[in-house]
Amino acid sequence: MSNFACSRNLAPSGARGCQFIFLTEMNDINQQLQEKIAELEAQKITIYQQEQFLRSIYDNVQEAIFVVDVESDGTFRYQGFNSAAIELTGIKDVINKTPAQIFPPSAAAGVEERYRQCITAATTISYEECLPFKGENTWWLTSLNPIKDPTGKIYRLIGTTLNISDRKRAETELDQEKNFLRTLLNNLSDGIVSCDENSIITLFNQAAQKFHNLPAKSIPANEWAEYYDLYLPDGTPMSKENIPLFRALQGESVRDVEMMIIPKQGQPRTLLANGDPIIAPDGTKLGAVVAMRDITARKQIEKALWESQARFFKIFVHAAVGMAIVDLDGRWLEVNPALCEMVGYSEEELKATNFQAITYPEDLESDLAKLKQLLLGQIPSYQMEKRYICKQGDIVWINLSVSLVRDKNDQPLYFVALIENINQRKQAQQALSQLNEELETRVQQRTAQLEQLNSMLLTTTAQLEKRNQELDQFAYVASHDLKAPLRAIANLASWIEEDLEDKLDEETRYNMNLLRSRVQRLENLINGLLAYSRVGRLKSEPQFVKVRDLLSERIDLLDIPPGFTIEIVGEMPTLITEISPLQQVFSNLINNAIKHHPRNDGKVTITTTEKPNFYEFTVTDDGIGIAPKYHDKIFTIFQTLEPRDKTENTGIGLSIVKKAVEAQGGKITIKSSLGQGTTFKFTWRKNLK
């Protein structure tokens, strides 16, 4: 612009002046260029120095540094590893390589996923990862920093990573040690409880949790009482200041503190506690720990021992026989009143002497020999009859029992003696000897009588067996000979009725039918009598009987009205029994319930209840019932509650039932009232063998 102004406003005569101005301006521009060049050179030197500084850091830091370019298609390519990264990983050639070209597929996928997370977060992220380098898996603590271009797009990731494999191994070892300690603590029979400096319980093993019934969580001290109560041995509630853990937390070393712990939900226990404060090397209080041993059983044993000693002393004093404790030299240490009364000496007089002084001289040698064997351990105790010389000079026979008490090292301590006065027994022995002789004579005489009776019994048994056979034969013949005429009568009645078909009036027909029914009744009576006579006499081999199957078979054989229901409720047992009597019982009871039911839609229910040696069966119907005054009558033979003309009933069925049940060792009962149905209950042995 200066040149243009000059050419327009100055005349040619002023050309030298314009040239001067132009040169001046060119000098200024040149100077400015020189200054700019110098500034750029300085900046270049500074940038070079900074680059060298950063390169020095990049190459010399112990932390591994890596550079990853992010391509437009999302591909990650490494642009460099620093010296530490090359040394730590053993990988030298990484330029333009992708993670998949450096790592195994599974590891490469994880690495790329981390890179994408950094891009998504658009900020620095840190994480731990396990990568295979130099033939082994190593752990790394990595930080990724995204680098953005002027438009804000992330085009590069700078990563720093530190090998933490040693730390990981230490953590693993620490975890293993913690697990070992935890397992050790949980398998200790002693309870271990620890709290921190703020009185918060931080540790209790399984034994302590069992003692206190504590939850598996840290709880403050002010909440401890919600789970259990602590008491002194005398039953007085334990104050906070006396609690071993609290005392240890105050800096005290607690030893052998006995206390009772009663959880809100759990068993009371007696514990013996030791505790100490936990102090850091610098003297800082970290908390306290208490170990507790369950001595409940020991206390119970001590209590039982004390009670046993008290009982022994009470027995010792009040025993009806003489009792004494004697030292190893034979001196009386303790004597009870019964012994003093037996020998006529006072307690003080006996304690001033020894047993040798009152022992009859002829018995002393054998007594001392037994004591020697006892001391040598050759015998556990001994018993003998001997004589004492009483204060008044009388002789008393006694039965002496002596045992030796030893200490825990098996060293002898003292003798315990039981002394029984057997004077009367000695006198009785002579009388008994004479009585034995008389008794032996009587036994011989009685044996001869028994042998004679046994012979008679065998003869009677043979005669009874013969009579039973004759009775069976008679029953068969009687049954056959009686039934044959009855059948003939029935046949004749039918033939007469057929021959006089057109000449019979209603009354005659009625009488003919009545005749046939009487014949049928008589035949049923004969069958019933025959069955009744055989109950209990005819035996069969016991067998396995499934009661449900037996009932099903019996029910199928009965003439049951179409609307009538027979229900078997619950599981039926399997018995080892004679099958025929049980069939008779169920058949008669069920048939009786059907026959005497006023309706055709009645119901019979059969149940069972197991007893120790029997099963109790129940047969219940919903019929008209039986008045209580007839309950005994119904089991009597030939007894019926309805007229025989109304129902063709022999009155033998329930008699057979009762006889069959009782023959098997059972019992039958009835529960019924008019209009309330009837229930029969009978018991049957589980096993007849």
CATH number at residue 260: 3.30.450.20
Residue 540 lies in a domain: yes
Residue 471 lies in a domain: yes
Q: Which of 16-30, 524-538, 595-609 has the highest mean pLDDT?
A: 595-609
Tell me what pLDDT residue 636 has. Answer: 65
Asked if residue 678 and residue 558 are part of one domain, the reply reads: yes
Tell me what pLDDT residue 524 has. Answer: 59
Tell me what pLDDT residue 9 has. Answer: 44
Choose the weakest-confidence range: 119-128, 451-460, 534-543, 658-667. 534-543
Asked if residue 155 and residue 76 are part of one domain, the reply reads: yes
Tell me what pLDDT residue 522 has. Answer: 61
Q: How many CB atoms lie within 10 A of CB 97?
A: 14
Residue 295 lies in a domain: yes
What tens digit of pLDDT does each residue of 470-481 get? 566 655 655 555
Q: Which domain holds residue 231?
A: 188-301
Asked if residue 438 and residue 415 are part of one domain, the reply reads: no
**Number of domains composing the chain:** 5
Which spans in 535-665 are helix H?
547-557, 579-595, 653-663
Closest CA to 597 of 558, 652, 637, 553: 558
Residue 4 lies in a domain: no
Tell me what pLDDT residue 4 has. Answer: 37
**CB-count exposure of residue 680 (10 Å: 0-12, 13-18, 19+):** buried
What tens digit of pLDDT does each residue of 652-673 get? 668 778 888 888 888 999 898 8
Measured in Å, how far apart are the chain's first and last C-alpha atoms? 143
Residue 1 lies in a domain: no
Tell me what pLDDT residue 64 has. Answer: 84
Strands 603-610 and 565-568: parallel
Residue 311's pLDDT band, with cuts at 50, 70 and 90, is confident
**pLDDT above 70 as % of the chain:** 80
Asked if residue 282 and residue 375 are part of one domain, the reply reads: no
Residue 33 lies in a domain: no
Report the SS3 class of residue 562: coil
Tell me what pLDDT residue 521 has. Answer: 59
What tens digit of pLDDT does each residue of 35-78 get? 777 777 666 665 555 555 555 555 656 678 889 999 989 899 99
Strand order in the sheet with 64-70: 76-81, 64-70, 154-163, 136-148, 125-133
Residue 482's pLDDT band, with cuts at 50, 70 and 90, is low
Residue 177 lies in a domain: no
Asked if residue 652 and residue 544 are part of one domain, the reply reads: yes
Residue 31 lies in a domain: no
Distances 516 to 404, 495, 523, 530, 635 between C-alpha atoms, Å: 96, 12, 11, 21, 27
- Mean pLDDT for 395-422 is 90
Last residue of a domain, one of 246, 269, 301: 301
Asked if residue 243 and residue 356 are part of one domain, the reply reads: no
Asked if residue 323 and residue 376 are part of one domain, the reply reads: yes
- Mean pLDDT for 607-612 is 92
Q: 386 forms bridges with which residues in the sheet?
A: 398
Predicted confidence (pLDDT) at residue 447 exceeds the cutoff of 90: no
How far, in whole angstroms, is CA 629 from its chain's centroid? 54
Asked if residue 392 and residue 454 are part of one domain, the reply reads: no
Tell me what pLDDT residue 564 has. Answer: 92
**pTM, two decimal places:** 0.33
Distances 170 to 173, 177, 214, 289, 553 between C-alpha atoms, Å: 5, 10, 33, 26, 81
